[in-house]
Amino acid sequence: MYKHTVMASLMLALLANSTATAWADSATIQGTISSSNNAVQGKVMTEDSSAQGKAPMNNIPSQPLMSSGDQATTGKSLPASFVASRQLAAITRLNLSDVQSRAVTDSFNLALLRIKLYALESKRSDLKTQTNRISTSQTIDSYTLPNSPEKILGNVNYEIPSDATPEQLFWLGPTIETNTVINGLMSGIKDIINGMNDLMKSQRDELEVAIKQLERDGWNTELDLEEAKEGIKLQMTGQYVYLLSLQKQMELHEEALQLLDKERSRLQALQGQGVAAADDSRGLRLEISKQTRELEVQRSNYRLALFQLCFDLGIRYDPDIILEDIALDEATLTNRKVTEEILARSYEMKRKWNELKQASWEHGNTKIANSDGKSYLSANVQLASKQTEQANAQLTKYINTTYAEADNAYEQYKNAQLDANDATADYDALQRRFQLGIVPLHDLNQSSYLRQKADMKVILLRLQYFIIISKVEAMERGFILAGGTEVAVVEQ
């Protein structure tokens, strides 16, 4: 039984340390997909597009394949079936709802959490069965053999006549000695049984604590599972909006290049008339080159972000996948909920509740004979209580920060709308002057581009506000995320 208890403790430690990540790195939600692994060179390389026909840089000796019954060693390669990549679905069009659904369905983290939850329940049932089998009420008959002449002669069961002579009672001495030895042995056996009962009771108590801890881990895993779903949806929303923002910015760069091409044509015509010098086009060529490079960088970022999204969703990478726009309602300032109401729904605070209840239960139900053990359990309760207070303070800070982000993003969006209205008014006024022949077409084209740029900034800031509102809604459902949430906007 001691071995069973040790194994149960080891299993508990392994399961307790296997807390899954609720979701992937929260930095992804900020709308910026890191490309720190490799510099982007304009193309997403696949296995099929790797340099073919080139000599290998290293002479790596081949290894024989191991069979299914072999252990992995340095001298053999794993079978192809073990390292085969998962099948990727071919998709031509995506929308935000489909992205979120696929991410939740295809998530490794969620699958691991479901397996962990099943393992915890199975182990809890196993320990409960072991606990029920432990008996702590083993007893032994309290009867003792007569170990004195008086007890033997007075025992009616022996039917010793009262007039028996000493010669007839010669056996009395050896019998008394034998009975005394047997009584001592029985007393020792009784002490052993009582000690075993105490040991079994201690092991039973330990198993009950382990069962309670597994129950707590099961409840927390259920919380982790639901929290991970919220995190995955928010992460995918950030990645999808980031791709849309890159598309919008690429469109703006293309508009800028078209405007620069028109200006180049105009300048070439002036040069043909002898009005403009050849050096006048130098600055224009530099600007066209700059805009072209920036557009290529945006395209590279888009391809990389799309590749990562496809991999996360388990679909085949296709640079021509159509991303549908998000239906955006008119932006309104978010209404703040009471902080305590959000904390009451918080997955993190619910985990802290479970941990505090577990520590309190162990303090009240664990049988410990020494004061040091009792002090340890009492300290665990104090630690869980203080950690709960700390989590409360941190989450309260995150809640206020998230609402402040939403307010700031809303103000940026409204200010961008005002700037866009001013740019439209300037364009309309300039268009009337152009029709009257007061201003040249070049100035009108410049004003048109500035209007498009202002309108694009409104769209990007509206996407940014959509992300932050999604973060607020997830927070109000219990998923409280630390850190900012930003979407790239057009540089001024």
Q: What string of DSSP letters covers 96-150? A: HHHHHHHHHHT-HHHHHHHHHHHHHHHHHHHHHHHHHH--------------SHH
Is 211 inside a domain boundary?
A: no
Which whole number is the average pLDDT over 312-340?
92
Structural domain count of the chain: 1
Which whole number is the average pLDDT over 478-492?
64
Is 384 inside a domain boundary?
A: yes
CA–CA gap between residue 378 and residue 357 (Å, rounded): 13
DSSP, collapsed to helix, strand or coil, labels residue 328 as coil
Residue 110: which of 23, 236, 28, 27 has the closest Cα? 23
Q: Which of 159-173, 381-395, 451-465 has the lowest mean pLDDT?
A: 159-173
What pLDDT, in 10s, does the model give residues 250-289?
999 999 999 888 888 888 887 777 776 766 678 888 989 9
What pLDDT, in 10s, does the model give residues 121-163?
888 888 888 877 776 666 666 677 777 777 777 776 666 776 6
Residue 480: which of 405, 396, 420, 422 has the closest Cα? 396
What pLDDT, in 10s, does the model give residues 195-246?
777 677 777 777 888 888 888 889 999 999 999 999 999 999 999 999 999 9
What pLDDT, in 10s, does the model give residues 8-37?
333 333 333 333 333 333 333 334 333 333
Residue 70 has pLDDT above 50, yes or no: yes
What would you report as the CA-atom Rg of the chain, rounded to the nearest whole angstrom? 39
Confidence of residue 477 (pLDDT cuts 50, 70, 90): very high
Is 382 inside a domain boundary?
A: yes
Is 83 inside a domain boundary?
A: no
Could you tell me how far CA 293 lies from the centroid of its own chain? Answer: 37
CATH number at residue 434: 1.20.1600.10
CA–CA gap between residue 182 and residue 11 (Å, rounded): 45
Average pLDDT, the chain: 81
CA–CA gap between residue 172 and residue 175 (Å, rounded): 5
Residue 369's domain comprises 334-492
Is 251 inside a domain boundary?
A: no
Region of 256 (left: φ > 0; alpha: ψ -120 to 50; beta: rest) is alpha
322 phi, psi to nearest 5 deg: -85, 125
Q: Please name the helix (run of DSSP H) or strand (run of DSSP E) that holds residue 434, with its range, or none.
A: helix 371-435
CA–CA gap between residue 71 and residue 209 (Å, rounded): 38
Q: Which residue has the tokens 């202002």?
A: 454
3-state helix vs strand vs coil in the chain, percent to 5:
70, 0, 30
Q: Which of 303-307, 314-318, 479-483 has the lowest mean pLDDT?
A: 479-483
Is 175 inside a domain boundary?
A: no
Could you tell me how far CA 257 lies from the centroid of its own chain? Answer: 43
Q: What is the pLDDT of residue 431?
A: 93
Is 289 inside a domain boundary?
A: no
Is 370 inside a domain boundary?
A: yes
- pTM > 0.75: yes or no: no
- Percentage of residues in the chain having pLDDT higher than 90: 42
Q: What is the pLDDT of residue 485?
A: 54
